[in-house]
Structures are given as structure tokens and as C-alpha cells.
Amino acid sequence: MKTELLKVNHLKVQYRDHKISKDIISDISFSLKKNHCLGIIGESGSGKSITCKAILGLLEKNFDVKGDVVFNDIHLLKQDKRKIRHIRGKEISMILQNPMTSFDPLFTIQEQMTETFIENLDITKKEALGLSLKALEEMHILYPKDVLKKHPHQLSGGMLQRVMIGIALALKPSMIIADEPTTAVDAINVVKVMEEFMRIREKHHTSMIFVSHDLGVVSKIADHLLVMKEGEIVEAGETQHVLNRPSNEYTKYLIDTRNALVEKFYQVVG
Ligand SMILES: Nc1ncnc2c1ncn2[C@@H]1O[C@H](COP(=O)(O)OP(=O)(O)OP(=O)(O)O)[C@@H](O)[C@H]1O
């Protein structure tokens, strides 16, 4: 049985603007197995977000994307915009870093959630409303009926991020790409949101790519890790193996930095 859901082969991304041309992703290859979670770590600017967006055809025109991205036997980079939009709604959900850009400021959360659910799940308006409420409750959002009536600007970044995660999880796609999904969420809710991700993974066998610069968060959920630096993969392997026996100096640095932070935290809180 074929176990690979996503295969990325020799992905290269170049940024072009007038005379400037810059290599952003050098030449990376990796795969994601069904029911697995791949964590991508690396410091700011290492190319994590660009990799995710390139896979889903979400980069603007001035990015030149080369290579092969195969999802369930479909070559994503060769599909037209309409087909890829369809796959993105039904099969792959993306949780972006900046939740504000994912919502339309003119419509209420209810309008946007129900529309997404009706379009992608083929359900009635009443069912979509029920699902919207349930999705917010599962994200531990208090007063979900009130939240549904709000416009995006009336909610905090953390709240919007939880709404976005709620939508993505409710769609039950075969794959979720989550790009720093917990950055805007406060510490208490990070734990709850992470638990929700793990619950969905277990219940629906959703495959995930989970991007973060926080090694602690990623290592809780990922089976495999990719470590990125300056647009290249510098280390890849099983999460525990990478954490316990890192072979690359940069990975060691990330682990040491994380350990020092945790130690400092315990010193401060006693
Ligand atoms: N819209 C853009 N135009 C030009 N260059 C960009 C653009 N977006 C990102 N880059 C460049 O691409 C490189 C990779 O950026 P990317 O956003 O993928 O990093 P990242 O690892 O996701 O960092 P972060 O954790 O801060 O999101 C960086 O050098 C960045 O400056």
C-alpha cells in the first residue's frame, strides 16, 4: 500500500523583482506519509512559509516556483487555479500565520464560516450554522453565538486564529498545513489548541505539516522533523532522533537555545 500522501521533489523558489533575483528555496525534497505529522522548524526567514505557500500555489507572480509537488497522485504545480482552489478547500486546509488576512473584513464570522462549510461540505445553511457553533466550541471559544455575529476587526488576533483553526479542523481535510498556528494565541490557549490538533489527528487520521520556530510546540505533535536554514533542509529525521541525536550544528543550536529558555523559565517561576 502506498503510504505517501505528499511528495515534494526538488522544489526551488526564486524571487524576481525588476533586476533583482534572489534564491529563496534552494532545492528541497521531502515527503509526508498518510496519518503522519511533519514538523518544519527553523528561525525567521529560513523559508518555512514560502515552502508551504509554494506547495499550494499561493505565491504571487514574482515568485518563480520549480520542481514537483505530488499530492495523492495529483501534480499540484501543474494544475490550473480553479482545480487547485478546489483541492485547497476540500482536501487540504491551510492555516496561515496572519489570521487577519484570511478573513474578509466586510462579512461577519458567521457569514464566512457558513459559506466555507456550504461550499466545501455540501451541507445546508442550517447544518453549516450548527457546524460553525460546534467548531468554535471545540476551540474553547466562550460565547460562540456572540462571536459568530462579529466582524473580523472586532476580534483579537488570537481569537481569529482559533476561529481559523476551528474552520480548518471542521472541514476534516486529508491534510492540514499549519504555518505557525499558535503564534497569536496566548499561552493558556496554546495548550488547548495543540490538544485539539492532536485530537483531530487521532480521530480523523489527518496528515499534517506543522510549521513553527518553537521546537517545544512542534516536538509535541510531529513524527518527523525538517530543520530549515537559509532556504535549505539542513537536517531531517524522526522527531525523537533529531532531538536526542542531532547531527547538524544548527539543529544543536536550536535545541540548546530551547533548553536554555526552559531552564531560565523554571529558575524564574521557581
Ligand atoms: N513577499 C516577499 N517578497 C520578497 N521576499 C520575501 C517575501 N516573503 C518572504 N520573502 C523572503 O523569503 C525568505 C523566506 O521567508 P519565509 O517567510 O518563508 O521565512 P519563515 O521561515 O517562514 O520565517 P518566519 O518564521 O518569520 O515566518 C526570507 O528571506 C524573506 O525575506
Amino acid at residue number 260? A
- By most ligand atoms within 8 Å of CB, the mutation choice from 16, 17, 20, 24 for ligand 1 is 24
Which grid cell is 4?
505517501
- Ligand 1 residue neighbourhood (C-beta within 6 Å): 15, 24, 42, 44-50, 213
Of all protein residues, whose CA lies closest to atom 17 belonging to ligand 1? Answer: 49
Supply the pLDDT for residue 51.
96
Ligand 1 atom nearest the C-alpha of 45 is 19
For residues 88 and 139, what is the distance between their CA atoms, to the nearest angstrom? Answer: 22
Strands 224-229 and 232-238: antiparallel
Supply the pLDDT for residue 269.
62
Supply the pLDDT for residue 139.
86
Distance 49 CA to ligand 1 centre (A): 7
- By most ligand atoms within 8 Å of CB, the mutation choice from 21, 22, 46 for ligand 1 is 46
Element (H, E) at 92: strand 92-95
Residues 6+ apart with CB under 8 A from 42: 48, 213, 227, 228, 229, 254
Closest C-alpha to 66, from 15, 6, 5: 15
Supply the pLDDT for residue 104.
92
Supply the pLDDT for residue 195.
84
Ligand 1 atom nearest the C-alpha of 46 is 21
Domains of the chain (ranges plus CATH)? Answer: 4-269 (3.40.50.300)
Supply the pLDDT for residue 266.
65
Which grid cell is 24?
529563496
Of all protein residues, whose CA lies closest to atom 28 belonging to ligand 1? Answer: 45
Supply the pLDDT for residue 186.
78
ipTM: 0.94
Question: Residues of the chain whose pLDDT is less than 50?
Answer: none
Supply the pLDDT for residue 199.
84
Closest C-alpha to 112, from 131, 97, 137: 131
Is-contact 57 84, C-beta < 8 A?
yes
Q: How many CB atoms lie within 10 A of CB 47?
A: 23
Distance 97 CA to ligand 1 centre (A): 12
For residues 103 and 100, what is the distance between their CA atoms, to the nearest angstrom? Answer: 6
Q: How many CB atoms lie within 10 A of CB 228?
A: 24
For residues 178 and 211, what is the distance between their CA atoms, to the nearest angstrom? Answer: 6
